[in-house]
């Protein structure tokens, strides 16, 4: 019912004491001010000014509007300044979720770059596997989810439809077989999964376990999963102790090496793609766009000539 121009006119009339002076202070014509007051009186259903000769006095209702005008216009000015600060990357907030192996590789350097270039932007981080992080993105609980998918599956895997999301590939990652250094097959250049049907297996996160089952099914057997843990340091320690073997993404093996564990390519081969996922609207938020760009640059540095990144 009352727009910002109406508030500004009522405050100016209260300050200046006449339509003419109020118009001059606002840069309007005197008829324009008179017309705005008449429109306000029609909208509010009551008289707002009392004309006394060449001056005007505010009625009780007019005084109410003038009093609130200061509060409303101050709040609007503050909002405009805060929005300008966010748009100019002088401030802003980004909520990032990423799965464990990316949180120790891709994410730290990317966030460090954002801090260096835009110290006023605050990025919070929570570690979560793709089903949880994508659900949080859909629920509005995070702004960017770093997720992954294996060959033959999309990043949503049916858990969350990504039809209305922006999915930016960051890098591609080979899936390798990790086994003890003294394993009889450790010296091979490539290992057929079919040769491992009798082995004890170590499974990781639910998505990784599903991938293991899929790979072994293609190879003609069901793996005997003896141990399950999402801690990749623990998985490598189990392998080094001779308790089992596992398929692990190269990103993990490169950044968490174990002296008693070797990694060998597998047949059939498999790859994992890492993505940054957000929404079209969030992608236009400057702080989110800057964080996506930093993730892409970090991924490019890690995998020169790797998969595309269009964040």
> 184-229: per-residue pLDDT in tens?
999 999 999 999 999 999 998 888 888 999 999 999 999 999 999 9
Q: Place 254 in a pLDDT band, splitting at 50, 70 and 90.
A: confident
Share of the chain above pLDDT 90, in %: 63
Mean pLDDT to the nearest integer, 263-291: 93
Determine the pLDDT at residue 70. 87
Determine the pLDDT at residue 2. 83
Q: Is residue 87 within a helix (H) or strand (E), and if so which, with residue range?
A: helix 60-87
Determine the pLDDT at residue 307. 42
Q: Place 305 in a pLDDT band, splitting at 50, 70 and 90.
A: very low
Q: How many angstroms separate the CA atoms of 44 and 40, rounded? A: 6
Q: CA torsion 163→164→168→174, rounded to 10°?
A: -30
Determine the pLDDT at residue 155. 63
243 vs 101, 180, 230, 311, CA distance in Å? 22, 9, 16, 42
Please indicate whether residue 84 or residue 186 has the higher confidence score (pLDDT).
Answer: 186
Sign of the four-CA dihedral 259, 301, 123, 143: negative
Instruction: Please determine, for residue 278, whether its predicted confidence score (pLDDT) is greater than 50.
Output: yes
Q: Place 157 in a pLDDT band, splitting at 50, 70 and 90.
A: low
Q: How many angstroms separate the CA atoms of 147 and 137, rounded? A: 11
Mean pLDDT to the nearest integer, 21-36: 91
Hey, how many other C-beta atoms are within 10 angstroms of the C-beta on 277?
A: 24
Rounded to the nearest integer, the mean pLDDT of the chain is 89
Q: How many angstroms separate the CA atoms of 22 and 13, rounded? A: 5
């Amino acid at each position: 019912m009352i727009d910002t121009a109406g508030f500004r006119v009522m405050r100016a009339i209260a300050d200046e004491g006449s339509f003419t002076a109020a118009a001059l202070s606002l840069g309007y014509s005197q008829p324009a001010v008179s017309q705005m007051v008449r429109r306000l009186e029609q909208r509010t259903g009551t008289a707002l000014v009392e004309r006394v000769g060449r001056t005007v006095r505010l009625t009780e209702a007019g005084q109410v509007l003038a009093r609130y005008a200061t509060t409303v216009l101050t709040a609007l000015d503050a909002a405009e300044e805060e929005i300008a600060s966010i748009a100019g990357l002088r401030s802003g907030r980004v909520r990032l979720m990423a799965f464990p192996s990316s949180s120790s590789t891709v994410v730290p350097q990317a966030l460090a770059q954002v801090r260096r270039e835009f110290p006023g932007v605050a990025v919070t981080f929570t570690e979560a596997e793709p089903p949880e992080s994508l659900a949080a993105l859909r629920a509005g609980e995070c702004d960017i989810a770093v997720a992954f998918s294996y060959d033959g599956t999309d990043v949503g895997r049916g858990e969350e439809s990504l039809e209305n999301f922006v999915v930016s590939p960051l890098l591609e990652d080979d899936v390798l077989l990790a086994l003890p250094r003294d394993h009889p097959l450790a010296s091979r250049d490539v290992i057929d999964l079919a040769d491992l049907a009798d082995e004890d297996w170590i499974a990781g996160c639910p998505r990784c376990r599903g991938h293991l089952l899929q790979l072994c099914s293609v190879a003609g057997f069901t793996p005997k999963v003896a141990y399950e843990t999402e801690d990749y340091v623990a998985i490598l320690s189990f392998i080094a102790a001779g308790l089992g073997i596992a398929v692990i993404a190269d990103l993990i093996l490169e950044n968490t090496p174990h002296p008693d564990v070797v990694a060998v390519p597998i047949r059939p081969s498999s790859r994992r793609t890492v993505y940054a996922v957000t929404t079209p609207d969030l992608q236009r938020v400057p702080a989110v766009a800057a964080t996506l760009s930093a993730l892409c640059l970090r991924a490019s540095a890690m995998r020169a000539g790797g998969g595309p990144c269009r964040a």
